């Protein structure tokens, strides 16, 4: 389920970087994922919640936790990729090279 949330979050991060805007959990929430191609992904997540968690009252709690984990993954991924530099013309990243 986290994988389904990561796609639209990555798109939201890309758009924020492109537009020079901030990317944080206060600005991007579950409802905002519909704006980044996440409608069908969210439908699948809700279907999985219905299957795996019988109590509907726990769905939002669980979804909030899954969203937080997906958000943290995107943040961590961005931190890692900012530490990799691609030398001009080579197309190959140099691991561990800090820009």
* Band (5; pLDDT cuts 50, 70, 90): very high
Q: Per the domain annotation, does 99 fall within a domain? A: no
Q: Quick: pLDDT tens for 48-94.
A: 999 999 888 899 899 999 999 999 999 998 888 766 555 555 454 44
Q: Per the domain annotation, does 90 fall within a domain? A: no
Q: Is the full-model pTM beyond 0.85?
A: no
Q: Per the domain annotation, does 97 fall within a domain? A: no
- Residue 6 near residue 73, CB atoms below 8 Å: yes
Tokens 């805007």 identify what position? 21
Q: Per the domain annotation, does 86 fall within a domain? A: no
For residue 97, what pLDDT is reported? 46
pLDDT surpassing 50 at residue 11: yes
Structure tokens at 58: 């726990």
For residue 83, what pLDDT is reported? 65
Domain that holds residue 15: 2-81
Q: Per the domain annotation, does 63 fall within a domain? A: yes
For residue 57, what pLDDT is reported? 84
- Residue 45 near residue 61, CB atoms below 8 Å: no
3-class SS string, the chain? CHHHHHHHHHHHHHHHHHHCCCCCCCCCCCHHHHHHCCHHHHHHHHHHHHHHCCCHHHHHHHHHHHHHHHHHHHHHHHHHHCCCECCCCCCCCECCCCC
Domain count, the chain: 1
From its phi and psi, is residue 36 left (phi > 0), alpha (psi between -120 and 50) or beta?
alpha
Q: Quick: pLDDT tens for 19-52.
A: 999 888 888 999 999 999 999 999 999 999 999 9
Q: Per the domain annotation, does 30 fall within a domain? A: yes
């Amino acid at each position: 389920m986290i994988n389904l949330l990561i796609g639209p979050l990555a798109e939201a991060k890309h758009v924020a970087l492109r537009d020079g805007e901030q990317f944080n959990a206060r600005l991007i929430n579950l409802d905002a994922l519909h704006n980044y191609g996440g409608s069908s992904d969210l439908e699948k997540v809700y279907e999985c919640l219905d299957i795996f968690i019988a109590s509907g009252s726990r769905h939002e709690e669980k979804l909030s936790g899954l969203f937080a984990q997906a958000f943290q993954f995107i943040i961590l991924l961005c931190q890692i990729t900012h530490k990799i530099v691609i030398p001009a013309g080579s197309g190959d990243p140099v691991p561990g090279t800090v820009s």
